[in-house]
Structure 1
């Protein structure tokens, strides 16, 4: 088989013209890993994916995959082997009669939301609109409106994938169920290449509404105590998020911002849902306050884009914890106050109960704690790499003893070898290994990134 001749898309080997541009483009982060695949295949079709996997298997090459999301450590870029770039596979078709969509892995969340809105439909896309579906859904997908819609992978009804043997299979709860189980949460260690998702869609809330308070950072203990209390009284359609960082509107003041996003169907419903949030007893201590502002998905994406600007250098780490935010965030406030970059931040929320109060279905993804915290070091100058990475690891290190695990999509897999394993329950980890042994016994697909 002559791989280049058999592809519709692009094949570039290390050392050839265009290689470095493709390698760099495979990582959204401005901080590029010093790892170099032997071959990069930019697939132009689903058949290209099958051709590439079959060639890699016959040649004894290991395969990694990228779809186009924000994987900070660039897990798809490895030394040696083949990187399959799916960024051109971005077709999407909506079936309004069945309220489903067929989407390829490079479809961006912003584009999917726009396509669905015209039909009065929605999907729990990621908070950053530029994130592609592939890696996001495979990792579980912590997206908008989690109290009602749950993690995004919960709304994946079926996948089509190229296996490590180069065969095309469909997977659902009723067909190839073990591979489907792994596809909903395994993340960058998934042992097949998903080329298409069938998504179950939701009705679009017609009155998305946001309210927010921004407090001085020294108020962190009282504010997080109130957040934990008020979260228990808010309906599932209200998503709470807490950010420790710099408040641009306050001329660089370090602050704690609390935002409530309500996915309602009328202004009256939003007002009722946000009543407890509006009655914040600490409101008089806020630097700024906004009440019940109408929003759209585009507006929500713009807010996220401002936090994670393009062409910046980023390091991140996450943790789930059984402790509440009142025990976690005060431990981080001092580090945020002295962060070497004013753009660095800590984001946190309270894990919502499963939608409808039911148990989560059987899938590789599971929320490992009642609280979720992620720290981001964000800077521009390459000369400041080490000081910012050190800041992140020292800061998150203060709360790691309280961690119940990590989120595989954003865990700092370079920090310690245990990050991957600790992103799953022990039973899930062993089951992933068993399912991998069945579907990829030769190890064609690269497993989790290790230091």
Structure 2
């Protein structure tokens, strides 16, 4: 069948590079306001799962590779590749919940916020990403660091089956028994996955009914001692308490000073079934030795997933420009936070921040089995450069790269979902264990011998 015949069978839309609507559509493919100058030859917006094998066959008939987009939240815009057909899955938004079996069938364009809102109707939950507008497709393929990780583990641990389309256009079902190697890769391979997932079957969990949060903010100069304190406390907290550090600028609702002070904040969120249980699990944080120096202090406040999502959504505003990187490290948290504090003090944007979730993917090895995703260190750092003026692009990118140059000697790896892949060839490889990287390469050669799906940036 010729290329024109393949195109004619598409139910969705096809836009060629050079078409009048191409530039507008291309801009929509990446949520980040900072968009790299990489231009697919064709953009196909799938209207149904049937369009996926058709688009792959169309690409092969034109000697194009196939890149894939679910929601466009890739910070380094992995779906934008030269010499490709970009397959946009954002309109595949099917979502069906089976409360009896506590499972859901979800298509890749469904956002985390949509998923959580639907599950709430049944008193169920899934560890979707902290930002509500992130689509589940890319999030789950990358492993997924979401809510309540001490109990749920990485989000991909809750993926029990996928339906995918391979490089030759074959539709396959994958789980622990059927195509188990492809299933293993789909749980963590991220933007280098060598098939297109059109449907996920997810294991769901009871929704905690008493979510409660404690938070402190201290002057940035206290970053090291605060980190040493919370690292010790977190080791003894229940797995249902999600704990983390944030280095950033105090919000305008707290400080009207100009410039607003930069701070280190500690947050701990208990996911419990009763208020008394939640308060008890957060009790160790009330013995904070620095409490008198806190600029902000909120203890045992009831909250909800909706409120948590609203707060996280404000951290990543639309129409902004972002550059992000990640680092796993086995260095002690106090040493790392001292360096992060120095970097934050020199940051040219008050909107930028460091996120340092403690045990973001569970300390339980049972939650980390049979997946390409791996925890590569005892601590995990994510610096975000956030700004809105294109004239600042150079300064913001230099800050991020210099920060990573300072931290990299203490690093043990990266997380593929948010790594600054264009920064170096080693970023992708160092996002997996050595055995995992070799296994991915062997599976790519087996499932995609012709290289239909591009590998990781910057290749």
Provide TM-score, normalisation by structure 2. Answer: 0.96
Are 2:286 and 1:278 equivalent residues in the alignment? Answer: yes
Q: Within 1, Cα distance between the matches of 2:398 and 2:384?
A: 12
Given that 2:56 and 2:167 are in contact with CA atoms closer than 8 Å, whether structure 1 keeps it comes out as yes
* Cα distance per residue 1:338-366 (max 9 Å; x no partner): 21111011110222674656362121001
1:347-362 → structure 2 map (5 Å cutoff): 347-351=355-359, 354=362, 358=366, 360-362=368-370
Q: CA deviation at 1:401?
A: 0.5
Are 2:36 and 1:33 equivalent residues in the alignment? Answer: yes
Q: Within 1, Cα distance between the matches of 2:86 and 2:395?
A: 31
Q: 1:238 aligns with which of 233, 241, 246?
A: 241
What is the DSSP-based 3-state SS (H/G/I as helix, E as strand, rest coil) of the residue aligned with 1:240? strand
Alignment correspondent of 1:299: 307
Alignment correspondent of 1:48: 51
Alignment correspondent of 1:378: 386
Alignment correspondent of 1:24: 27
**Structure 2: which 5+ residue stretches go unaligned?**
none
Given that 2:152 and 2:367 are in contact with CA atoms closer than 8 Å, whether structure 1 keeps it comes out as no
What is the DSSP-based 3-state SS (H/G/I as helix, E as strand, rest coil) of the residue aligned with 2:223? helix
**Structure 1: which 5+ residue stretches go unaligned?**
none
Q: CA deviation at 1:105?
A: 0.1
Alignment correspondent of 2:250: 247
Structure 1 residues 355 and 101: alpha-carbon distance in aligned structure 2, compared to 1, 3 A threshold: farther
What is the DSSP-based 3-state SS (H/G/I as helix, E as strand, rest coil) of the residue aligned with 2:430? helix
Alignment correspondent of 2:351: 343
Given that 1:220 and 1:256 are in contact with CA atoms closer than 8 Å, whether structure 2 keeps it comes out as yes
Q: CA deviation at 1:121?
A: 0.5
Q: Within 2, Cα distance between the matches of 1:95 and 1:68?
A: 25
Choose 52-61 or 251-260, whichever is displaced more.
52-61
Structure 1 residues 363 and 77: alpha-carbon distance in aligned structure 2, compared to 1, 3 A threshold: same
* Cα distance per residue 1:215-273 (max 9 Å; x no partner): 00011111001011111111000001111010112331100011001101111000110
Structure 1 residues 70 and 217: alpha-carbon distance in aligned structure 2, compared to 1, 3 A threshold: same
Alignment correspondent of 1:67: 70
* Cα distance per residue 1:157-204 (max 9 Å; x no partner): 000001000010000000000000000000000000000000000110
* Cα distance per residue 1:37-76 (max 9 Å; x no partner): 0000000000001100111123221010000042111000
Given that 1:235 and 1:273 are in contact with CA atoms closer than 8 Å, whether structure 2 keeps it comes out as yes
Q: Within 1, Cα distance between the matches of 2:452 and 2:235?
A: 46
Structure 1 residues 118 and 311: alpha-carbon distance in aligned structure 2, compared to 1, 3 A threshold: same
Q: CA deviation at 1:286?
A: 0.5
Alignment correspondent of 2:15: 12
Given that 1:332 and 1:396 are in contact with CA atoms closer than 8 Å, whether structure 2 keeps it comes out as no
Q: Within 2, Cα distance between the matches of 1:69 and 1:60?
A: 24
Alignment correspondent of 1:97: 100
Given that 1:316 and 1:375 are in contact with CA atoms closer than 8 Å, whether structure 2 keeps it comes out as yes
Q: Within 2, Cα distance between the matches of 1:196 and 1:338?
A: 44
Q: 1:151 aligns with which of 131, 134, 154?
A: 154
Alignment correspondent of 1:114: 117
Given that 1:68 and 1:106 are in contact with CA atoms closer than 8 Å, whether structure 2 keeps it comes out as yes
Q: 1:222 aligns with which of 220, 225, 229?
A: 225
Alignment correspondent of 2:424: 416
Given that 1:69 and 1:136 are in contact with CA atoms closer than 8 Å, whether structure 2 keeps it comes out as no
Alignment correspondent of 1:438: 446
Q: Within 2, Cα distance between the matches of 1:205 and 1:58?
A: 50
* Cα distance per residue 1:96-148 (max 9 Å; x no partner): 11100000001000010010011010000000011000000000000000000
Given that 1:351 and 1:369 are in contact with CA atoms closer than 8 Å, whether structure 2 keeps it comes out as no
Provide TM-score, normalisation by structure 1. Answer: 0.98
Q: CA deviation at 1:78?
A: 0.7
Q: Within 1, Cα distance between the matches of 2:111 and 2:365?
A: 30
Alignment correspondent of 1:193: 196
Q: Within 2, Cα distance between the matches of 1:138 and 1:101?
A: 17
How many corresponding residue pairs? 451
What is the DSSP-based 3-state SS (H/G/I as helix, E as strand, rest coil) of the residue aligned with 1:274? helix
Alignment correspondent of 2:87: 84
Q: CA deviation at 1:91?
A: 1.0
Q: Within 2, Cα distance between the matches of 1:68 and 1:154?
A: 21
